[in-house]
């Protein structure tokens, strides 16, 4: 359903500017879209009550974290909320054990220039699984998900272990329920949609399954699918010249993603950039750019 959903490339601005919204307006008009900046102006406890809804209870329960107090049975804090007054962002991180850097959940939302909401980051990893050091190169420098520099040795290990580009551990497979919580939160905030930029081909495919459409990049996704078919330029470029360009990789989402991560789009004089997706709250766009895909 909604397969012919039309998406404006430049969303219309809705509601007044963040600085124009007062607390009395928030209380008085339930249909007025509320910015994160306005929400962050609230005292800490009301903010905590509202932002608690963003982390699914099921995810916290898996690690024995109390969804109300965000503490484990030993009374140690396991979740951190960053929503400073004056900021237009909210970050929520959760970890397992006594090391806050051992995050298994990271969510960041931000206001955008159209008084809409952007999903900047969503990471949900299994902290008990093996970690692959794809986030740092062999000199200890951050790779920024492989967009700035790469650790080829660790990437090959991660690929062989079944991970996708950008992953350091296997996922928690909870994106569906997380998105349900985000949409519930946005409904409370009177927003009709939210936006994101897919980091990888796998990300874009997952977001399609979760109901997103493309405001930018749909044509690129169609081109990628076409050129990965036998006889296409991307299919020809799967020549075994690197571990990430094996002949059969066109058949799966993950295989295509690793080839794209390896720069294979250069044969089309293209790059993986400038893609943007939108999810209308309560609607599934029905977009499919890789029919009958195998992950």
Q: Is the pLDDT of residue 215 over 80?
A: yes
Q: 10 or 32: which carries more pLDDT confidence?
A: 32
> What confidence tier does 295 reach under pLDDT thresholds 50, 70, 90?
very high
**Rounded mean pLDDT, 59-79:** 95
Q: What per-residue confidence (pLDDT) applies to 99?
A: 85
Q: Is the pLDDT of residue 234 over 50?
A: yes
Q: What per-residue confidence (pLDDT) applies to 27?
A: 63
Provide CB contacts within 8 A for 213, sequence distance 6+.
Answer: 5, 7, 277, 278, 279, 280, 285, 287
> What confidence tier does 4 reach under pLDDT thresholds 50, 70, 90?
very low
Q: Is-contact 145 166, C-beta < 8 A?
A: yes
How far is CA 238 from each of CA 7, 138, 214, rounded to the nearest angstrom?
A: 33, 26, 27
> What confidence tier does 12 reach under pLDDT thresholds 50, 70, 90?
low
Provide the Cα torsion 122, 145, 132, 57; round to 10°. 0
What are φ and ψ of residue 237, in 5° steps? -75, -10
d(CA 121, CA 93): 11
Give the tens place of pLDDT for each residue, 15-51.
445 444 455 655 667 888 899 999 999 999 999 999 9
Least confident of 1-15, 108-122, 210-224, 275-289: 1-15
Q: Is the pLDDT of residue 161 over 80?
A: yes
Q: Is-contact 2 283, C-beta < 8 A?
A: yes
Q: Is-contact 271 224, C-beta < 8 A?
A: no
d(CA 18, CA 69): 30
Task: Give the CA diameter of the chain.
Answer: 63
What are φ and ψ of residue 76, in 5° steps? -90, 135
Can you list the pairs that 135-141 forms with residues at least 24 positions away whose Cβ atoms lie under 8 Å? 135/168
Q: Is-contact 106 93, C-beta < 8 A?
A: yes
Q: Is-contact 104 64, C-beta < 8 A?
A: no
What is the 3-state secondary structure of the chain?
CCCCCCCCCCCCCCCCCHHHCCHHHHHHCCCCCCCHHHHCCCCHHHHHHHHHHHCCHHHHHHCCCCCCCCECCCCCECEEEECCCCCCEEEEEEECCCCCCCEEEEEEEEECCCCCEEEEEEEEECCCCCCCCCCECCCCCECCCCCCCCCHHHHHHHHHCCCCCCCCCCECCCHHHHHHHHHHHHHHCCCCEEEECCCCHHHHHHHHHCCCEEEECHHHHHHHHHHCCCCCHHHHHCCCCCCCCCHHHHHEHHHHHHHHHCCHHHHHCCCCCCCEEEEECCCCCCCCCCCCCEC
Q: 139 or 77: which carries more pLDDT confidence?
A: 77
Least confident of 134-148, 149-163, 165-179, 212-226: 134-148
Locus of tokens 């200890």? 140
**Rounded mean pLDDT, 60-71:** 95
Q: Is the pLDDT of residue 6 over 60?
A: no
> What confidence tier does 188 reach under pLDDT thresholds 50, 70, 90?
very high
Q: Is-contact 72 97, C-beta < 8 A?
A: no
Q: How many CB atoms lie within 10 A of CB 56?
A: 21
d(CA 269, CA 267): 5
> What confidence tier does 180 reach under pLDDT thresholds 50, 70, 90?
very high
Q: What per-residue confidence (pLDDT) applies to 30?
A: 80
Give the tens place of pLDDT for each residue, 242-286.
999 999 999 999 999 999 999 999 999 999 999 999 999 999 999
**Rounded mean pLDDT, 238-244:** 97
């Amino acid at each position: 359903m909604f397969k012919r959903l039309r998406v404006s490339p430049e969303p219309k601005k809705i509601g007044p500017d963040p600085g124009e919204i007062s607390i009395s307006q928030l209380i008085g008009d339930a249909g007025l879209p509320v910015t994160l900046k306005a929400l962050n102006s609230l005292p800490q406890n009301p903010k905590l009550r509202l932002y608690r809804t963003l982390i699914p209870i099921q995810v916290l329960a898996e690690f024995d974290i109390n969804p109300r107090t965000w503490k484990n049975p030993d009374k140690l804090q396991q979740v951190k909320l960053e929503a400073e007054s004056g900021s237009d962002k909210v970050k929520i991180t959760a970890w397992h054990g006594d090391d806050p850097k051992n995050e298994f959940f990271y969510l960041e939302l931000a206001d955008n220039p159209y008084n809409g909401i952007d999903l900047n980051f969503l990471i949900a990893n299994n902290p008990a699984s093996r970690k692959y050091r794809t986030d740092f190169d062999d000199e200890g420098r951050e790779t920024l998900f492989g967009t700035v520099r790469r650790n080829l040795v660790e990437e090959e290990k991660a690929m062989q272990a079944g991970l996708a580009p950008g992953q350091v551990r296997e996922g928690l497979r909870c994106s569906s329920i997380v998105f349900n919580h985000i949409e519930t939160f946005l409904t409370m905030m009177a927003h009709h949609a939210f936006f994101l930029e897919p980091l990888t081909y796998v990300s874009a495919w997952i977001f399609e399954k979760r109901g997103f459409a493309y405001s930018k990049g749909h044509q690129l996704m169609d081109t990628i699918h076409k050129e990965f078919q036998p006889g296409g330029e991307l299919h020809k470029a799967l020549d075994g010249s690197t571990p990430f360009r094996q002949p059969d990789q066109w058949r799966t989402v993950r295989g295509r993603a690793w080839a794209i991560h390896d720069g294979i789009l250069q044969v089309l004089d293209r790059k993986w950039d400038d893609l943007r997706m939108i999810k209308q709250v309560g609607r599934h766009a029905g977009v499919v750019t890789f029919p009958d895909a195998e992950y």
